[in-house]
Amino acid sequence: MRLVLFDCDGTLVDSQVMIVSSMTRAFESAGLAAPPREEILSIVGLSLPIAIARLAGHRPGASVETLVEAYKASFADLRNSTLHREPLYPGARETVEALAGRPDTLLGIVTGKSRRGVDAILAHTGLGDAFAVVRTADDAPSKPHPGMVLDAIAAVGADARRTVVIGDTTYDVEMALAAGTRAVGVTWGYHHRADLAAAGADRIVERFDEVAIAVDDLIGPGET
């Protein structure tokens, strides 16, 4: 049996509008200049306290705890408003449904997003039944620590050698390699192709319809 683990933000869903808007509001609510968009997107994938600590590190007077709570509140407000935008990337639904329909394959999610955030995404997209395991920032140390992947593997009785992580950031690639799995980098997210390659991605894909091919090439068909 194979296990295919997807990152969420920047891989399955395009949440950049929500993330940048929420982070900007959080910093401004604390009387601080918001980081540039590129800087904000560079920390997507890390658990929220670590991500904000990186952004706030060189800004005098920044309280990580205050900014974390302000970000959560801003994100919740946006999710409940007409401004909510976390669409699936083109081809994501088709690929997830096709892989989930294979008897040799289990799917999972490993993400720096909160459990509440992932639950909201799965409810909105209707893809909850496709994933056998979900591990979030609430369950394990922040990426690139391998805990999320190792815990997901153990939860479904999979083997690291038959597992692949699909993600858009170097944190995903580093996490996968630290867990002893294969890593597929995707270019439609928030880190550059060259950075994914430098981090050691086994394969880098440009479109979602290339994901299943990459999985087959890297870990082969599963045992039914």
Helix (H) or strand (E) holding 184: strand 182-186
Whether 156 contacts 137, CB under 8 Å:
no
Tokens of 47: 């658990």
Tokens of 84: 């909510």
Amino acid in position 183: A
| Contacts of 222 by beta carbon, 8 Å cutoff, 6+ apart | 1, 2, 102, 104, 105, 162
Dihedral Cα 58, 64, 69, 70, nearest 10 deg:
-20
Tokens of 169: 């950031």
The catalytic residues are 7, 9
